[in-house]
Amino acid sequence: MSNRILVVEDEKKVASFIKRGLEEEEFQVDVAYDGEEGLYMGETNPYDLILMDIMLPKMDGLSVVKELRKRDVHTPVLCLTAKDAVEDIVSGLDAGSDDYLTKPFAFAELLARVRSLLRRGQKDRGAEIRFADLRLDPVGHKVWRGDKEIELTAKEYALMEYFMRNPNQILTRTMIAEHVWDYTFDSFTNIIDVYVNYLRKKVDRDYDKKLIHTVRGVGYVLKED
């Protein structure tokens, strides 16, 4: 069966262009033209991926993503927007989106992002992961240190899961970008540093034993000292 994708885009020409291109690649595509319709369709239908414009009538795209996550809809979301400032990208990722593509974009790049997110979503996420006194539940998207649950944003969780699936291994910024964000451009590496710092504050700040370590000039590693 082909993958089913929801496109939430109020510009009908853009929506038609995306829909036609994806259908030529044999995807099944539905379109919603405002945020409220996108929220309804995203919650009630079993999509493999959602392409979400940010500037939408009735309900903006980030609010739609946040609401979907609140309702335990974990369908991967690729945000599409003309905004490209770092703070806008961080806002989109914090809202629960999985990747971010700025307009105008080449359809080939959109298609590459789509396929990457679909591959990631289809992987067997397996059972609970443990490292030191950390526990991660891939199904419920929850993390604990000892008996304390750690409240993480969607992107912090994705970064934590990548660390826990690769303990004691130095992860370069490029590796993190490719596996967690799908960004391969150097201009995005500051976002990685920002998120690692967010994660450190939640995972390590209140504990004597630090688990997330910087490898100067290279990247980061999850390890016990």
Q: What CATH number did the domain enclosing 115 receive? A: 3.40.50.2300
Position 188 scores a pLDDT of 54
Same domain, 117 and 8: yes
Same domain, 28 and 94: yes
- Mean pLDDT over 25-49 rounds to 91
- Mean pLDDT over 59-66 rounds to 92
pLDDT digits (tens, 9 = 90+) for 164-190: 988 999 998 888 877 776 544 454 558
Last residue of a domain, one of 122, 151, 172: 122
Same domain, 113 and 51: yes
Burial class (CB in 10 A: 0-12, 13-18, 19+), 95: buried
Same domain, 9 and 95: yes
In one-letter notation, the amino acid at residue 107 is: F
- Mean pLDDT over 99-114 rounds to 87
Q: Is residue 136 within 8 Å of residue 142, measured between CB atoms?
A: yes
- Give the least confident one: 32-41, 42-51, 91-100, 202-211: 91-100
Give the strands of the sheet with 219-222, arranged side by side: 171-172, 219-222, 212-215
Same domain, 150 and 217: yes
pTM higher than 0.75: no
The candidate with the shortest Cα–Cα distance to 41, out of 18, 75, 83, 12, is 75
The candidate with the shortest Cα–Cα distance to 212, out of 126, 137, 139, 143, is 143
Same domain, 165 and 107: no
Total domain count, the chain: 2
Q: Is residue 30 over pLDDT 80?
A: yes
Same domain, 12 and 114: yes
Same domain, 133 and 25: no
- Mean pLDDT over 67-93 rounds to 81
Last residue of a domain, one of 95, 122, 149: 122
The tokens for 142 are 């929850």
d(CA 189, CA 178): 11
Position 123 scores a pLDDT of 52
Per the structure, the complete domain to which residue 73 belongs is given by 4-122
d(CA 116, CA 181): 10
CATH of the domain at 160: 1.10.10.10
Mean pLDDT of the chain: 85
Same domain, 72 and 144: no
Same domain, 47 and 114: yes
Last residue of a domain, one of 98, 122, 146: 122
Residues whose CB is less than 8 angstroms from the CB of residue 190 and which lie 6 or more positions away in sequence, other chains included: 86
Same domain, 35 and 111: yes
Same domain, 13 and 113: yes
d(CA 175, CA 104): 26
